[in-house]
Structure 1
Amino acid sequence: MTLSVYLAGEIHTDWREQITGACAGLDIAFSGPVTDHAASDDCGVAILGAEADKFWHDHKGAKLNAVRTRRAIAGADVVVVRFGEQYKQWNAAFDAGFAAALGKSLIVLHGPDHAHALKEVDAAALAVAATPAQVAEVLRYVMTGELPR
């Protein structure tokens, strides 16, 4: 049976590609948000019309992105949420909370510098990983029951 995994969070590094590459050959269907930052920001005004006020510009985009995100998280078996080093990803925290509220299996990915700030998010997770390789090993274990070699 195919495992559905939603990869949420930070969009500035290649962590998604690291996980999907390391999981090649496993029956996993990966999905995620729009990672083209400009497209994600501008989708609302591109589809629904321009806004003079940046607040309403962002508001439209956030709502359209929420349609994608809510559907994807609701349909996922596992949600992986990455918190990057450079930016405060409020959207990632929201995605983690939404996934937890839906009872989704949650894997959180972040470095040690974020451990204190994310302690409540980490407490809701079934696994807290420090590297994309660890996430891939968790998913491999879930799919095969095998320990890393």
Structure 2
Amino acid sequence: MAFQVYLSGEIHTDWRQQIIDGCARQGLAITFSSAVTDHAASDAAGDGLGPDCEGFWRDHKSAKINAIRIQNAIQRCDLAVIRFGEQYRQWNAAFDAGFCAALGKPYITLHDASLVHPLKEVDGAAQAWAQTPEQVVELLCYLLKA
């Protein structure tokens, strides 16, 4: 059975694909899951539930629909990797980290050194902090090959 890794957080760079490709090159038996990474599709997840609306209620409906996928993926994973990028504040990623911590699911944070202070509590509950996707691949190699 493959190791289950949930990839959470920032959606504006290719960090997920870098990890997936790096693990494939290492021959690691990992199944990856993620939230919907198409921003427009994620924002529209609840649009089918009623008349079109903007702002809070549209986001509220879509967040609840997206939570079905996210909560199930986190509950099923063996490990989560939670990415915080520079461009936007990823409140959803912080929420995912808290959900992992509440469930006792191990997680690795992935962010640069400029975010150490703002993420001190999130990093404090993490099993590791990585700064690059390559470091995450190295950790996964250790976990699955050692």
**TM more than 0.5:** yes
1:39 aligns with 2:41: yes
Q: CA deviation at 1:33?
A: 0.6
TM-score, scaled to structure 1: 0.94
**1:121 Cα deviation from its structure 2 partner:** 0.5
Looking at structure 2, the residues matched to 40 and 52 of structure 1 have their Cα atoms a distance apart, in angstroms, of 15
**Alpha-carbon distance, 1:53 to partner:** 4.0
> Where in structure 1 are there 5+ consecutive unaligned residues?
none
SS of aligned partner of 1:23: helix
Aligned-CA RMSD value: 0.8
In structure 2, the partner of 1:74 is: 75
Q: Distance in 2 between matches of 1:51 and 1:122?
A: 39
Q: 1:128 — aligned with what?
A: 129
TM-superposition CA deviations, 1:103-129 (whole Å, max 9, x none)? 011100000000000000001000100
Number of aligned residue pairs:
144
Identity %: 60
Q: Letter of the aligned partner of 2:75 in structure 1? A: A
TM-score (normalizing by structure 2): 0.96
Does residue 29 in structure 1 map to residue 36 in structure 2? no
Instruction: State the SS of the aligned residue for 2:44.
Output: helix
Q: Displacement, 1:43? A: 1.0
For residues 54 and 117 of structure 2, the distance between their equivalents in structure 1, rounded to whole angstroms, comes to 36
Shift of 1:44: 0.3
- Which residue is equivalent to 2:12? 12
Deviating beyond 4 angstroms after TM superposition, the runs of 4 or more aligned structure 1 residues are none
Structure 2 unaligned regions, length at least 5: none
* Aligned residue in 1 for 2:114: 113
